[in-house]
Structure 1
Amino acid sequence: MRRSVAAAAVVVLAGAGLLGTAGSAGAATGTAAASGATECSVAWGSKAKSATNATSAPLKNITTSGTTCYDRMVFDISGARGKLGYHVGYVDAFHQDGSGERIPVKGGAILEIFVSAPTHDPATGRQTYAAEAGKSLPGVHLDGYRTFKDTKFGASFEGQTQVGLGVRAKLPFRVLQSGDTLIVDVAHTW
């Protein structure tokens, strides 16, 4: 009896698009990813997306994963409460926040991501995410990704962290929050 109830729950969750596949960045959600369907429907658009909230909780890590329909970047801001602030949009060139220095990013388009969280603990000054300006994100390897082509760390300046994400082309993207993580998904196609 318990097996049939569990099996029914899996079928219901999969049908509702709530059952995902695990990746290094967390669960990927969506009906296509859950059911294994190869047809992807995204209506996210490619215009800039923003939320003006801020947190004093620091950025701890950045990870990536891929699904059938999109590539995903996840910003771990452990301990953040409430809505997270961000600004994500396409730019012609990636310039370091603060200095204005140009940082080359490979790909057909550049998605500039600002997350309203520093890379250090404001109470102690201790670094929480060890990245260097102009360098690739530590621990992020993009071999085999369909859409993601390059990453560059811009800066952690005045309470926000800047990342340049090189993508194959100017493609639709979305920004989501799940608990204390900020998620940026970039579709493989229109």
Structure 2
Amino acid sequence: MPRTLRRALTVALAVTAVALPLAAATAPSPVPVAASACSTPWGSTPEQVERLGRAPLTAVRTGRHDCFDRVVFDLDGTAAGYRVEYVDEVRQDGSGDVIPVPGGARLQVSVHHPAYDDAGEPTIEPPPTAGDEVADVSGYDTLRSVVYASSFEGSTTFGVGVRARLPFRVLVVDGSRLVVDVAHRWY
């Protein structure tokens, strides 16, 4: 190989070797900071704990957060069990009647606790009837409605209407609050 050609190849390789790492080091990050701050391992499959509890349900509240909307079910005692799942229709326990739940998708939340005391008196004020919206979620990013369905044989059912089928999680906070968080989007 002639000396000038060899020298040109050596210079070209040296320039390429230096240029590649610099280009790679200045490439933009593929993950936006805001999305990574909200990323969760949540999914959209049913979550449940089978135990029944005796502590009555006393209130239903909601809250808004940066990455999710929250529904809180307050109990007068220790939380035991629940079942939360996406359904086509929310149904009232006992009768099987369909309960209208506004939203693009519906979570059926069964809190394995009654909404009445040992004397049969309602423990949520004011006492809801089937189909009543029990929380104002106007302006929420994800939640569209929280509707009471029934309290039957020690379990209380609600329909939670959401914008779309989005990831959720269920957790117990401070031993006496059952919490359902629904993400604003898939991250």
- Is 1:159 equivalent to 2:154 in the alignment? yes
Cα distance per residue 1:124-143 (max 9 Å; x no partner): 22210111111111xx1111
Are positions 1:184 and 2:176 aligned together?
no
Quote the RMSD (CA, aligned, Å).
Answer: 1.2
Q: What are the residue-to-residue correspondences of 1:39-188 with 2, within 5 Å?
A: 39-80=37-78, 84-122=80-118, 124-129=119-124, 130-137=127-134, 140-178=135-173, 179-188=175-184
1:117-162 Cα distance to aligned partner (Å, 9 max, x none): 101112x22210111111111xx11111000001211100010000
- 1:46-81 superposed Cα distances (whole Å, 9 cap, x missing partner): 00000011211100000000100000000101222x
Partner Cα distance (2:104, 2:121) in 1: 36
Mapped to 1, the partners of 2:76 and 2:98 lie a distance apart of 30
**Which whole-Å CA distance do the structure 1 matches of 2:80 and 2:72 have between them?**
13
Count of matched residue positions in the alignment of Structure 1 and Structure 2: 149
- Larger helix percent: 2
Native 8 Å contact 1:46 1:170 kept in 2: yes
Runs of 4 or more above 3 Å deviation? none
| Deviations 1:66-122, CA, capped at 9 Å, x for gaps | 100000000101222xx5200000001111111111111111100000001101112
Q: In the alignment, is the contact (CA less than 8 A) between 1:53 and 1:116 conserved in 2?
A: yes
d(CA) in 2 for partners of 1:132 and 1:145? 24
* C-alpha separation in 2, matches of 1:92 and 1:108: 10
Aligned counterparts of 2:45 and 2:137: Cα–Cα separation in 1: 24
SS in 2 for 1:73: strand
SS of residue matched to 2:99: coil
In structure 2, how many angstroms separate the alpha carbons of the residues matched to 1:184 and 1:84? 15
Structure-1 separation of matches of 2:98 and 2:76: 30
Give the alignment's TM-score, normalised by structure 2.
0.77
Secondary structure of the 2:38 match is coil
Output the amino acid matched with 2:75.
Answer: I
* TM-score normalised to structure 1 length: 0.75
Q: Aligned runs of 1:11-50 on 2, under 5 Å?
A: 39-50=37-48
Letter in structure 2 aligned against 1:105? V
Larger Rg: 2
Contact kept in structure 2, 1:84 and 1:182, CA below 8 Å = no
Q: Is the 8 A contact 1:94 1:104 kept in 2?
A: yes
Q: Work out the CA distance in 1 between the residues paired with 2:182 and 2:58.
A: 22
